[in-house]
């Protein structure tokens, strides 16, 4: 399919434009956008295709795209800011700020273990109403009462939805606000970022329509953690419709953004923690947030993963370019955002035709590789 690619791209980055064009060939995309920043300044911003399945609405500068798990990078940054402010430590127990979490043997689980998917709460095995995810208090109470699905600290097991509730409740207990409110008041508003967790009704008309994957992801061996995380009827929010899903705050799964907003926010983490003269995160805390907390075969995702405090580290998979120092997060269907403090580069890819890769969508990998080849 031949599409018009719009936006801006200096000649030195022409391989990025060619990579995006290649992604559209043979129907590989419906609508997509890729932004690259250096030192927090967007130097490439390309988009093309359609925001709707009928091919009537162009995928434009104001199109918002659901991020799914790329939202976790934003949640990880919000927790890191509490650490930066001295109001939280990765080494303290979750129960020290959320006493109910100590149930079922979880009294020693640390904030760092929750942030690196080691706490064993990947999802619910017992039959649960999928509408529970729209009820913050009910979900966090169920998680607080739950016993871990594996011995805490022995392995990571990716938490696709529950991560947002555990991290979000830790944040709320310390800060008093929800993550969505803090994001809007402290970062997105002051820095002019079109980035949301919990989308107001006034913005819904800008959202891209999704095309679901045509194939199922490959999970590898199925265990209880995989079942709880992905394979029950209640593993994801259901029963309330798209508008309510956009409206509710789920800091692990339902962020909405443009690619430049994500690239710029991650740009702060790629360039010493500062963006537009505002210190988003100190260099020391950034190092603590991206430092390896566990590495090995994940119990849920069929990959060896190195986890920081909520961030996927680039080694050993190198989905975010060639630099070991890079880190970020990927989302269901293909979106991703990353930061590379070794080069000052950050970037984001968003789209509305979802692929079946769990992480490392080849469309995003192609764009990021082209960007690095152009540096």
Provide the pLDDT for residue 214: 85
Mind listing the pLDDT tens digit for each residue in 143-158?
A: 999 999 999 999 999 9
Q: Note the helical H segments in 146-231.
A: 162-175, 179-182, 189-191, 224-230
In three-state secondary structure terms, 353 is: strand
d(CA 269, CA 81): 12
**Residues 6 or more apart whose Cβ sits within 8 Å of residue 85:** none
Provide the pLDDT for residue 167: 98
Categorize the per-residue pLDDT at 203 as very low, low, confident or very high, splitting at 50, 70 and 90.
very high
In three-state secondary structure terms, 324 is: coil
Percent of the chain surpassing pLDDT 70: 100
In a domain, 19, yes or no: no
Only one residue has tokens 């190195």, namely: 306
d(CA 339, CA 191): 18
In a domain, 371, yes or no: no
Question: Could you tell me the CA-to-CA distances from 165 to 256, 311, 325, 373 in Å, in that order?
Answer: 17, 16, 28, 38
In a domain, 46, yes or no: no
Domain containing 325 equals 65-351
Mean pLDDT over each residue of the chain, to the nearest integer: 97
Domain count, the chain: 1
In a domain, 34, yes or no: no
In a domain, 53, yes or no: no
Mind listing the pLDDT tens digit for each residue in 276-319?
A: 999 999 999 999 999 999 999 999 999 999 999 999 999 999 99
In a domain, 200, yes or no: yes
In a domain, 8, yes or no: no
Four-residue CA torsion sign, 84, 87, 93, 95: negative
Provide the pLDDT for residue 1: 58
Torsions phi, psi for 360 (to 5 deg): 70, 45
Prediction pTM value: 0.98
Mind listing the pLDDT tens digit for each residue in 103-123?
A: 999 999 999 999 999 999 999
In a domain, 30, yes or no: no
Torsions phi, psi for 130 (to 5 deg): -65, -15
For residue 345, what is the domain's CATH number?
3.40.710.10
d(CA 85, CA 367): 35
Mind listing the pLDDT tens digit for each residue in 28-72?
A: 999 999 999 999 999 999 999 999 999 999 999 999 999 999 999
Categorize the per-residue pLDDT at 239 as very low, low, confident or very high, splitting at 50, 70 and 90.
confident
């Amino acid at each position: 399919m031949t599409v018009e690619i719009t936006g801006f791209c200096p000649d030195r980055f022409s391989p990025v434009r060619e990579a995006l064009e290649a992604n559209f060939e043979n129907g590989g995309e419906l609508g997509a956008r890729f932004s690259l920043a250096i030192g927090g300044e967007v130097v490439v911003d390309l988009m093309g295709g359609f925001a709707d399945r009928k091919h009537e609405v162009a995928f434009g500068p104001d199109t918002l795209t659901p991020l799914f798990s790329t939202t976790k990078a934003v949640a990880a940054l919000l927790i890191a800011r509490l650490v930066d402010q001295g109001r939280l430590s990765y080494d303290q127990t979750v129960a020290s700020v959320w006493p109910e979490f100590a149930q079922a043997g979880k009294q020693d689980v640390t904030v760092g273990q929750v942030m690196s998917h080691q706490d064993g709460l990947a999802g619910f095995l017992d039959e649960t109403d999928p509408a529970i995810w729209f009820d913050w208090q009910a979900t966090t109470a169920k998680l607080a009462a739950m016993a871990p699905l594996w011995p805490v600290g022995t392995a990571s097991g990716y938490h696709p939805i529950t991560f947002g509730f555990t991290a979000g409740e830790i944040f709320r207990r310390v800060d008093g606000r929800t993550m969505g409110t803090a994001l809007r008041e402290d970062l997105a508003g002051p820095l002019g970022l079109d980035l949301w967790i919990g989308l107001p009704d006034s913005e819904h008309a800008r959202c891209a329509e999704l095309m679901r994957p045509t194939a199922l992801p490959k999970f590898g061996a199925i265990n209880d953690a995989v079942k709880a995380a992905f394979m029950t009827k209640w593993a994801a929010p259901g029963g309330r419709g798209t508008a309510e899903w956009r409206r509710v705050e789920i800091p692990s799964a339902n962020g909405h953004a443009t690619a430049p907003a994500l690239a710029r926010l991650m740009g702060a983490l790629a360039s010493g923690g500062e963006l537009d003269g505002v210190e988003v995160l100190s260099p020391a805390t950034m190092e603590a947030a991206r430092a390896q907390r566990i590495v090995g075969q994940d119990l849920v995702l069929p990959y060896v993963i190195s986890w920081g405090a909520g961030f996927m580290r680039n080694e050993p998979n190198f989905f975010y370019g060639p630099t070991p120092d890079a880190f970020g997060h990927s989302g269901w269907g293909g979106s991703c955002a990353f930061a590379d403090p070794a080069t000052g580069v950050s970037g984001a890819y968003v789209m509305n035709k979802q692929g079946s890769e769990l992480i490392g969508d080849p469309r995003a990998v192609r764009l990021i590789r082209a960007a690095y080849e152009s540096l």
